[in-house]
Structure 1
Amino acid sequence: MGTLYYGGSTSTDEFDDRVLAHLQLAIVAKLRRGEPFVFSWDVEREKGSGSNAIWISPTIPLRFTYQAGRRGPINRSWVEALLKAANSVTGLRIVDEPVESVQSASRDDE
């Protein structure tokens, strides 16, 4: 499980490393374009259920940490689906991974 830290050193929530790696690519792409947005996710039943939403902006500190050393291959179609969600009125939400070609996680052009 990886952790998203937002707004200082406070932990925001934990996500599967693979999910977090794809979220990171989508979030960084939006921030590189100077596009703030809302990120919402559901809270697991074991953690009390419910949902969270945060405003992602380039002016607020953001950090991603991963439990595993490797995050696995990147599915470009999934990153694009996450970006499409982030560009919507409701903002970024975790969507199911599309079954598409998977690319190496070591690509530097993301």
Structure 2
Amino acid sequence: MGMLHVGRITRIDLPDAVLAHVHAVLIAKLRVHEPVLVGWISPDGRRDEVLVHPSMSLVVRYDADDAVGLDRAWLERLMRSANGVGGLQLTPDMIDAMRALGAAGAGAPAGAVEPAS
């Protein structure tokens, strides 16, 4: 389980495969100076949201040392979500589906994007 620290505000625990995709989307948005709303379900069952702004620091800590391959279809789906009115909503169903993608990821799936070195 990796961690995404957003400024000094919050920490989001996500499986590495999910975190890699969310990280890529956030970096894409922040590179063009666009804030993005990120929502998730906290461990206590509440829905949390944070507006990630380009002036905030992001710290990403992966559980494993291995780079995670990125799936183009998931990146596009997450980017559409991030560009929408509701922002990037990390629902339990989405996280489970992306976790399964990471578990099957020993061989690169169709549409895979190599991780940046």
Per the normalisation by structure 1, the TM-score is 0.82
CA distance in 2, matches of 1:92, 1:27: 9
Count of equivalent residues = 103
| Alignment match, 1:103 | 113
1:36-57 deviations in whole A, cap 9, x for unaligned?
Answer: 12100112xxx31111100110
Pair 1:78 & 2:63 matched: no
In the TM superposition, structure 1's runs of 4+ consecutive aligned residues that sit over 3 Å from their partners are: 95-100
RMSD of Structure 2 on Structure 1 (CA)? 2.0
Question: CA 1:71/1:61 → structure 2, altered by over 3 Å: closer, same or farther?
Answer: same
Unpaired stretches in structure 2, ≥5 consecutive residues: 102-108
| Alignment match, 1:29 | 28
The alpha-carbon deviation at position 60 of structure 1 amounts to 1.1
The 5 A counterparts of 1:39-54 are: 39-43=38-42, 47-54=43-50
Question: CA 1:11/1:71 → structure 2, altered by over 3 Å: closer, same or farther?
Answer: farther
Q: Give the counterpart letter for 1:24 in structure 2.
A: H
Pair 1:88 & 2:87 matched: no
Per the normalisation by structure 2, the TM-score is 0.78
* Greater strand share, structure number: 2
Look up the SS of the partner of 1:69 in the other structure: coil
Say whether the 8 Å CA contact 1:3–1:11 is kept in structure 2. no
CA distance in 1, matches of 2:10, 2:2: 11
Look up the SS of the partner of 1:60 in the other structure: coil
CA distance in 2, matches of 1:40, 1:61: 17
Q: Give the counterpart letter for 2:23 in structure 1.
A: Q
Look up the SS of the partner of 1:93 in the other structure: strand
Say whether the 8 Å CA contact 2:26–2:36 is kept in structure 1. no
